[in-house]
Structure 1
């Protein structure tokens, strides 16, 4: 009761302050629970570190899982989202090898062969890239197993046109 720490661990900078490990095939290495307002588990980074990190080392697991009631919010973000590595967000550029008339073919491991992926695509406008004034759309071509970005006006896709692509996957 009151304020303070239930468990506190301090590292000298080269180790772990508190470690928890579940034995067997199920359980929780560390569990934080708050009956009212506050944080069950909280990580704070002061400088350029990471406040909380999750990692899935094998199989189809998840590094971080968030869950809420139907009325709640599973993941609350206050700031931008950064991605790196084999990321669900990438830049696609229309080139002579991926343009077919009014379409450009996306060839990316995050989207290839997945007709159920959800793609959010935005056109990149800059002073040096070609301008597309028509609406754009996306569709999945089951014959090639690829997603395509198309111009709704049917005009040719210009080489050098750039698109930001965000891929969202529904998993069991």
Structure 2
């Protein structure tokens, strides 16, 4: 399972999956209090917030969704961080590639690899910067497949051009169906 990332980017070792935040549109509730609670000010709309983790073959291997409002990716991925930090669940040297919104220190040190943030490069000695920049670019290229996969997950439902229902239990059922349909398509249609 650890071979694909080595073929795509030989400098990156041990990546077993890709993780990213995913926001899906939700119908606006009629109550203004509920609408304010669910409103994502950064994206200027009502969203369901979550995190999806895709395996190297494109299948959805972990997810946490159906949280209304504006949550950050690091907070939404706490359960995944706990799994990654547990040596009985994640092999030595295995890691997840993500964007810079996810934590890379503490219990996830060495378990989550991210591209450099905007001013990270300048904080390192000049002699190290070229290597860090190359590694950061490799992680970014690897992650592009995950970002495209995230879009494919939501297209299963987006083709209907509808927002997810406001009702939390109905939304949960639709999200679970959408994720199962996505994995079915990856495994059976594309033969992965």
Which protein is bigger by CA-based radius of gyration?
1
TM-score normalized with structure 2 length: 0.21
Greater RCO (CA < 8 Å, at least 6 residues apart): 2
- Higher relative helix content: 2
